Chains A and B, each alone.
Chain A
Amino acid sequence: KNEVEQSPQNLTAQEGEFITINCSYSVGISALHWLQQHPGGGIVSLFMLSSGKKKHGRLIATINIQEKHSSLHITASHPRDSAVYICATRFGNEKLTFGTGTRLTIIP
């Protein structure tokens, strides 16, 4: 059974800090997703990756297939980055398995 664990559960940082959120999973996967859930509740897909690294603006997602681990980095963090960040993995053709999320708060 594929399990997804995120760390930390909660993270508070000062504006401008470099942020790292981690995601570990238990079995080999075909794809990993990072999603952002806004304080109002809406969910936005940030990245889907199966290897290497992807970058979009100040957000960078990396994945290490051998170590079964992915990280989401935010450079020059801003209060508007405050949200819950969710990792989800897909094993073969199975449904996505979601982590419980990391709540990020950026203080001005």
Chain B
Amino acid sequence: NAGVTQTPKFQVLKTGQSMTLQCAQDMNHNSMYWYRQDPGMGLRLIYYSASEGTTDKGEVPNGYNVSRLNKREFSLRLESAAPSQTSVYFCASGSDTYQPQHFGDGTRLSIL
């Protein structure tokens, strides 16, 4: 009954550090997504993967990279973290493109 699992749940980084957010889904969904959620703004799409082996930029891709490791896993990497990347990050999956159905619990990331 796991659905979409994100790790870690919380992380504090210093400016310039790198890290990878992990996401895995066990529903055999083709599509996976990374969103960020900032106060006063709706969820914004960072990157998505319509199927294994493909990734595409979303609305706010700058400063991020992604890897669709296999059908289950979709990771988000910050190569050189900046304070503007302080946010809550959500991974989601779905059977159709642009139709996220299940969301992870989020990763609260603070960049100092």
**Interfacial residues, chain A to chain B (CB-CB below 8 A):** 4, 31, 35, 40-45, 48, 86, 88, 90, 93-101
Contacts and interface: CB of A to CB of B under 8 A. Distances in A.
Interface of B: 40-45, 48, 58-59, 88, 90, 92, 97-106, 108
B98 A93 contact: yes
Pick from B43, B58, B101 the residue with the most CB of A within 10 Å: B43
Contacts of B100: 45, 96
Contacts of B45: 95-96
Contacts of B104: 42
A88 B100 CA distance: 11
Contacts of A98: 42-44
A100 B38 CA distance: 9
A41 B106 contact: yes
Contacts, number: 50
Chain A, interface SS category: strand
B42 A41 contact: no
A99 B43 CA distance: 8
B103 A4 contact: no
6 tightest A-B CB contacts, nearest first: A98-B42, A43-B103, A98-B43, A42-B105, A41-B106, A95-B98
